[in-house]
Amino acid sequence: MLNIFKNKREDFPDFWKKYEAKFQEKPSKEIEHTRFVVFDTETTGFDLIKDRMLCIGAVGITNKSIDVADGFEEYISQETFNPKTVKIHGIIQNERIETLQEEEAVKAFLKYIGNSVLVAHHAGFDIGMLNQALARMGLPKLKNKVLDTVKLYRGTRIISNLINRERNYSLDEIAETYHIDIKDRHTAAGDAFITAVAFITILGKLNTDNKLKLKKLFRY
């Protein structure tokens, strides 16, 4: 019997169906067995509607190790161009670098992330960018669980009236605290790597009793 939902789902392209199917698997409850994908996007600006992604960089983490071989780095050709942000990330339109169309890049990214837990610094923005791109392709939002390193980092700070825990810690500040080199800052892959090193460091800090569970990470 075909129900309404099934009909609707069949409208979606194959790659989306494959992506969706991966969420049928029962996810692990252990951090060790979970694949995290730490990612970052470079964009033409900070407006979710007007601005566009120029690059997606990501790296996978399994068993608390960053696996460089499990990386993702794609540049996207865009019509929208914002001269103001070029000086931040240095991606100039039509720079001679291999690029993909946005659709292709998003398609490749979905295949790459599968049902992994996504991690980003100020995750809301990057997830929003991806969801906007998906919407332009007539697709629903991302289905992955998301962790934000800003929130996790706050969790490592002590509770004291003397410090403001609600502050928005920048990636630079966190890198300084943990002595992470900030070379390649403002390239998507470079930032993703800095975030990834920060993420495994934070996992260590939060794991005070050696019993840290995945579930707990989502509460920060």
Partner 1 sequence: MKNTIASRIADFLKNYPPFNLLQKEDLLSISKNVKVKYLEKGKTLFAEGDTGHKRFYVVNKGAVSLERINNDKRETIDKCDEGDIFGLRPLFAKENYLINAIADEETVLYAIPIKKFKPLSEKNKEVGSFLIQSFASNTRNPYAEAHKGKLISEKEPEENQFQPNNNLFELQPAPVTRKVIMASPETTIKKAAQLMRRKKVGSVLIVEENTPKGIVTDEDFRNMVATGVFSIETPISKIMSSPVICYPRGITIAQAQLTMMKHHINHVCITEDGTPNTKVVGVVSEHDIMVSEGHNPSVLMKAIQRSSSTNELKKIRHKITLLLKGFLASNIPLNHISKIIFELNDATIKRIIERCIKKLPTPPPCDFTWIALGSQARKEQLLQTDQDNALIFEEVPQEKLEETRAYFLELSRKVNKRLNIIGYEYCPAEMMAKNPNYCLSLQEWKQQFTNWIVDPGNDEILLCSIFFDFDISYGNIKLSNELANHIFSLTQNNKKFYSVMGATTLRNPSPLGFFRQFLVEQNGENKDFFDIKKRAITPITDAARLLILQHQVRNISNTAERFEKLAQLEPNNKDLFLACAYASKVLIKFRTKQGLKNRNSGRYIDLENLSKEEKIKLKRCFKSIRQVQELIKFRFEVTPYT
Residues that bind partner 1 (CB under 8 A): 57, 59, 64-69, 71, 73-75, 97-98, 157-158, 160-163, 176-177, 179, 181, 183-184, 187, 189-190, 192-193, 196-197, 200-201, 203-205, 207-209
- Token pair for 189: 């892959």
Looking at the Cβ atoms of 152 and 190, the one nearer to partner 1 is 190
CA gap 129, 54 in Å, rounded: 11
CA gap 126, 144 in Å, rounded: 13
Looking at the Cβ atoms of 115 and 207, the one nearer to partner 1 is 207
Looking at the Cβ atoms of 143 and 157, the one nearer to partner 1 is 157
> Can you state the percent helix, strand and coil of the chain, rounding each to 5?
40, 20, 40
Query: Which residues, 6 or more positions from 13, have their beta carbon under 8 angstroms from its beta carbon?
Result: none
**Nearest approach, Cβ of 101 to partner 1 (angstroms)?**
16
DSSP of 173-190, one letter per residue?
HHHHHTT---TTTTSHHH
Q: How long is the chain?
A: 220
**Nearest approach, Cβ of 158 to partner 1 (angstroms)?**
4
Looking at the Cβ atoms of 54 and 192, the one nearer to partner 1 is 192
**Nearest approach, Cβ of 212 to partner 1 (angstroms)?**
11
**Nearest approach, Cβ of 187 to partner 1 (angstroms)?**
5
